[in-house]
Amino acid sequence: MTTGNSNLPLVWDFIDRKKEVFTELADRVWETPETCYMEKLSAAAHREMLEAQGFRITEDVAGIPTALIGEAGEGGPVIAFLGEYDALAGLSQKAGLSSHEPLVAGANGHGCGHNLLGSASLLAATALKDWLEKTGTPGRVRYYGCPAEEGGAAKAFMVRSGAFDDVDIAISWHPSNFAGVQRETSLANCRVDFTFTGRAAHASAVPELGRSALDAVELMNVGVNYMREHMPSDCRIHYAVLDTGGISPNVVQAHAKVRYVVRAPELPGLLALIERVKKVAEGAALMTETQVESTILAGVSNLIVNAPLMDVMQDVWNSMGPPAFDDADIAFAEKIRATLTPGDVAASWNQERLEARDIPLADFVLPPHNEVRQMGGSTDVGDVSWVVPTVQAYGATLAVGTQLHTWQVVAQGKSPLAHKGMVSAAKAMAATGLAAMTSDQLREAAWADLKKRRRGQEYTSPIPSGAEPPVAAMTVK
């Protein structure tokens, strides 16, 4: 290991000593799947664990009732572990089954494995805290309980509130098919509602008195679709009409609303593109003599990777190897695999540019590669990564070929194989955190890398200064 840190086995020891209670925490959160800013029970479970482990707790971070921070230690650097605990709507599924059978029809389910995500991050934070105490080393470790990753952009609001201002290094992970280091960037994105207001009138008797908000929405969409030819090809724009102004064709529609999602590889490009979309909306309002108001609901920045931290985490994984799955894990993974399509399985290998092998569970650690790839989606970890050097692991918690946001993820979410993958991810994070805590040189190199990758750009929040976390709105799905 190039981290050269003889304390690694001790920090892993602390994880092994407490892995059972954190497995219970992950299972408990699995059993109360809650979505986007409604994670009351899940956040309470994390708060209880923080208390039990002796962390100092801050609640209502950024004014969000389900966001919390636990801190331990004194002085020294601040190492942050980011956790999530939100679920997805409509993905209820019985645990341990290899057939699609909802636990409660139509209910939520942990289809992205965030029950494991939060628990492992808190376990890593606890192990590093225990290590600081045992060795009397100055330094602070924090666990950030972050709600609403799925569509709510809570971390962007938390960053804006200053919650990460004094953090030296941030570490997180995501459940996956494979174990290793995340080396992908993600797209910056923003959700904007455009609400048009016109004037109602009898559409046949006095059409000249009406001003149609629905016409404005249609013209805006046409305008944006023409604009596509003249925008960067790696940007994305999608829209959904939320309000068509009523069901009566013989009434000129006085109100209409369209929601846009705009994505771009980097934040400055995103902000520039949103301004162009706004101009199209204003043009549509001008053409139809209606008024338009735009409201940015939530936005997230692109993810910035960090080479020095990825190198250290790679070394940690190389020294640790993949989770030690047993025959029962392999047998369950085989059953899950039988429910996947060949396309599912191929997609998992393709994503990592690896040649497919006929294995139900990862038996290797992802090799390093120099190319930083663009993943199609977006994540609010992006905002943290703009203001703090950030590194993320992948933990092997799923049968190879399992795709996120499916019932198969929920079915595996409480299984022994998921628990093993979760604990090994906690070890990868704790060891990386320990290296960052104890090496000034590593932290300096990580900050230099972040500055280089920002290319002189300052962080600009994708959320307008007046906008509040959409805690009550819950429409940001």
Least distance (Å) from Zn ion to the CB of residue 152? 12
Residue 250 CA: distances (Å) to CA of 203, 247, 285: 5, 9, 21
- Cβ proximity to Zn ion: between 61 and 112 the closer is 112
Least distance (Å) from Zn ion to the CB of residue 155? 12
Least distance (Å) from Zn ion to the CB of residue 92? 17
Q: Which stretch binds Zn ion (CB under 5 A): 4-12, 111-119, 249-257, 322-330?
A: 111-119
Q: Which stretch binds Zn ion (CB under 5 A): 2-10, 104-112, 384-392, 408-416?
A: 104-112
- Which residue's Cβ lies closest to Zn ion? 112
Q: Which of 36, 72, 112, 316 binds Zn ion (CB under 5 A)?
A: 112
Q: Which stretch binds Zn ion (CB under 5 A): 47-55, 96-104, 107-115, 156-164?
A: 107-115
- Cβ proximity to Zn ion: between 89 and 330 the closer is 89
Q: Which stretch binds Zn ion (CB under 5 A): 39-47, 109-117, 326-334, 420-428?
A: 109-117
Residue type, 184: E
Which residues ranging from 35 to 74 are in contact with Zn ion (CB under 5 A)? none
Which residues ranging from 221 to 240 are in contact with Zn ion (CB under 5 A)? none
- Cβ proximity to Zn ion: between 14 and 157 the closer is 157
The DSSP symbol for 90 reads T
- Cβ proximity to Zn ion: between 25 and 82 the closer is 82
**Nearest-angstrom CA–CA distance, 469 and 148:** 10
Instruction: Give ∠ CA 155-131-382 in degrees, rounded to 5.
Output: 15
End-to-end CA distance of the chain, in Å? 43
DSSP string across 401-434? TPPSSSHHHHHHTTSHHHHHHHHHHHHHHHHHHH
Q: Residues near 182 by Cβ (< 8 Å), separated by ≥ 6?
A: 173, 174, 305, 391, 392, 393, 394
Q: Which stretch binds Zn ion (CB under 5 A): 19-27, 110-118, 198-206, 239-247?
A: 110-118
Write the Ramachandran bin of 321: left for phi over 0, alpha for psi from -120 to 50, otherwise beta: left
The DSSP symbol for 368 reads P
E-state strands within 130-234: 139-146, 169-176, 180-181, 184-185, 188-197
Least distance (Å) from Zn ion to the CB of residue 402? 13
- Cβ proximity to Zn ion: between 69 and 409 the closer is 409
Report the DSSP pairing between strands 78-84 and 169-176.
parallel
Least distance (Å) from Zn ion to the CB of residue 236? 19
Least distance (Å) from Zn ion to the CB of residue 88? 9
Other beta carbons within 10 angstroms of residue 221's beta carbon come to 18
What is the pattern of x (binds Zn ion, CB under 5 A) and - over residues 150-179? ------------------------------
Least distance (Å) from Zn ion to the CB of residue 30? 14
- Cβ proximity to Zn ion: between 21 and 89 the closer is 89
Size of the site for Zn ion (CB under 5 A): 1
Q: Residues near 313 by Cβ (< 8 Å), separated by ≥ 6?
A: 181, 391, 393, 428, 432
Least distance (Å) from Zn ion to the CB of residue 120? 13
- Residue 468's φ and ψ, nearest 5 degrees, are -105, 155
Separation of CA 19 from chain center: 24
Residue type, 359: I
Least distance (Å) from Zn ion to the CB of residue 153? 13
Which residues ranging from 319 to 358 are in contact with Zn ion (CB under 5 A)? none
Work out whether 471 is an interface residue with Zn ion (CB under 5 A): no
> Where do contacts with Zn ion occur on this chain (CB under 5 A)?
112
